[in-house]
Copies of this chain bind each other. A is one copy, B any other.
Amino acid sequence: MIQHISFSERLGLNKEMLQAFLSTAETRCYKKGSILFERDTVYNQLGYIKSGAVRTYCINDQGIDISFLLQVNGDFFGDYESYITGKRSAFIIEAAVDTEVLLFDKKRLDELIASDISWLRFSRTISDICFLEAKRRIEELLFFSPEERYFNLLQKSPEIICKIPLKYISTYLGITPQSLSRIRKRLIN
């Protein structure tokens, strides 16, 4: 499968390690709108999107739904904080469209990591990647205006714009659906 090639490249896995890695995962399918992870649960799995799209969101004190992450084919997902700390997560993950995923089991991954130093190295690579992605997001929010952020997202992930409703994209960008609708209109003209 094509995706597995990107696996190896991105994560620095050779053929055998890739096999072992995949053996810790199971495939699952979710209908559009269904929940992959409930609120207040501990994440004992990391996900990988084979096809489709997922949205990680939370409901704040005022009952407002805010998208924290939007992800599509080839992306990993899950609340990595909950995964590593074992704490309950405030986030919910739902399928934005019909979605097929791989779910990697923490217990089995931890066994791999305990079995050989190269897996421990691998786990550090995962952590580094999570950090780098988080840093990108901070830079995006700190250095760019909402309009620029939408434009950047359009460039970087047109797939997200296609698959995911505007009202979810808007809160991911830190604005309201109405504002995003107007920004979109401005960009067209």
Please report A residues at the B interface, Cβ cutoff 8 Å: 60, 66, 68, 80-81, 84-85, 117, 120-121, 123-124, 127-128, 130-132, 134-135, 137-139, 141-143, 174
Output the nearest chain B residue to A134 by Cβ-Cβ distance.
B134
Shortest CB-to-CB span from A80 to chain B, Å, is 7
Is the CB–CB distance between A68 and B124 below 8 Å? no
Q: In the assembly, what is the distance between CA of A121 and CA of B132, in Å?
A: 19
Shortest CB-to-CB span from A48 to chain B, Å, is 18
Q: In the assembly, what is the distance between CA of A125 and CA of B153, in Å?
A: 31
Chain B residues, CB < 8 A from A120? 117, 120-121, 124
- Centre residue among A66, A117, A124 by max chain B CB count within 10 A: A124
Output the nearest chain B residue to A172 by Cβ-Cβ distance.
B142
Is the CB–CB distance between B174 and A131 below 8 Å? no
> Of B123, B128, B141, which one neighbours A138 at CB under 8 angstroms?
B141
Q: In the assembly, what is the distance between CA of A30 and CA of B111, in Å?
A: 46
Shortest CB-to-CB span from A143 to chain B, Å, is 6
> Of B121, B127, B130, B138, which one neighbours A137 at CB under 8 angstroms?
B138
Output the nearest chain B residue to A137 by Cβ-Cβ distance.
B138
Is the CB–CB distance between B121 and A66 below 8 Å? no
> Of B80, B85, B131, B143, which one neighbours A130 at CB under 8 angstroms?
B131
Output the nearest chain B residue to A64 by Cβ-Cβ distance.
B143
Output the nearest chain B residue to A69 by Cβ-Cβ distance.
B138
> Of B85, B127, B138, which one neighbours A127 at CB under 8 angstroms?
B127
Q: Would you mind naming 25 contact pairs between A and B with Cβ atoms under 8 Å apart? A: A66-B143, A68-B138, A80-B135, A81-B131, A81-B132, A85-B132, A117-B117, A117-B120, A120-B120, A120-B121, A120-B124, A124-B124, A124-B127, A127-B128, A127-B131, A130-B131, A131-B131, A131-B134, A134-B135, A134-B138, A137-B138, A138-B138, A138-B141, A141-B142, A141-B174
